Amino acid sequence: MPRRAASMAVECRSAAVWELTLFSPHGGIEMTRFVVDAVRRSGRKDSRLALAGCMLLMIDAVLAVASPVALTTGTYVQNFNVLGTGTGAASLPEGWDVRSDATASTLGATVFTTVVRNTWGSSTGQFRNVAAATGLSGTSSATAQNDATNRALGLRQTDSFGDPGGSFNFNFSSTGMTLTAMSFDLMLLSEQGRTTSWQAQYGLGATPSSFATISTLGDLAPSVWGTYSIIVSDTAALTAMSNQPHAWLRIVTTATTAGSGSRDTFAIDNVSVTAVPEPSTLAGLAVALVCSAAFRRRSFRRSFLQRLRAWTRS
């Protein structure tokens, strides 16, 4: 996944206390700040080691944030097949990350940008690279799932992982674009005793402090194995996400699961966003074309006259 440069400010408050500020690669937004207190450590060497360790942790945290995808005219589609069928960790597509501790007003601090392949029925709490439901059945074997080239981005919640707070996040830029359509597939891949309610939400800015639920969808709580195709028809939401330097679409659960027993395995797939140029962008392009045509006409006329004069003088 492409990364952008981050910046860091380091300030020595005293001989024992250093303050580090790391800035996001997305618009220079301050991401995090904390103090390394070396009072309890002995010697300047230990202080420097602590400072270096904290620098590395902060850099990792910021670089894990997904770089926004710049939407262009047409339809953006993400089917997650790029995750592949290998057993190693697979990087999420550009613009995507997943988080286990999202809240109603925050993206969440625990960010994952890689996933490993696993089957639907594994009870391990994790985000995972799973086989999509398409072409398979609820009783498909582990071998069939692992070999399937049609992949999806999945989550198995546990009482200590993602319940609540599991979130699939797409970070994009729609500058100069109007969003006209959006859809995605929500898959229930392992039916268990508990019920999870999902919501599709959007937030604006590099690090949103509030999110709006796409009103036409409400709570999404699949209860039977299979694929649920979700179409966003909320024009107000599409308008709000249009012509934005930073926007987030997330499929998130912020409420604790209901019922008893184990938790389901869910996945998302086939995310689609259609955009067209903003009217103002089209108007500007038209003006530019007219000006360009006028300039070319003047240039041609000037060149023609110069050649005509040269010819009459010869």
The structural domains of the chain, with segments of one domain joined by +, span 7-63, 69-277
Query: What's the pLDDT at 190?
Result: 98
Q: What is the pLDDT of residues 24-58, one digit of tens each?
A: 444 333 333 334 343 334 444 455 555 555 555 44
CA–CA gap between residue 59 and residue 46 (Å, rounded): 20
Q: pLDDT (tens digit, 9 = 90+) per residue, 115-124?
A: 999 999 999 9
Kindly list the distances between the CA atom of residue 31 and the CA atoms of 8, 142, 243, in Å, as whole numbers in the listed order: 10, 41, 24
Tens of pLDDT along 252-307?
Answer: 999 999 999 999 999 999 999 999 999 865 445 444 444 454 555 566 567 656 76
* Cα(158)–Cα(219) distance, integer angstroms: 20
Span 182-240, pLDDT tens digits: 999 999 999 999 999 999 999 999 999 999 999 878 899 999 999 999 999 999 999 99
The class that CATH gives domain 69-277 is: mainly beta
Q: What is the rounded CA–CA span in Å between residue 98 and residue 84?
A: 18
pTM, rounded to two decimals: 0.73
Q: Whose CA is closest to 134, among 252, 230, 229?
A: 229
Q: Across all residues in the chain, what is the average pLDDT?
A: 82
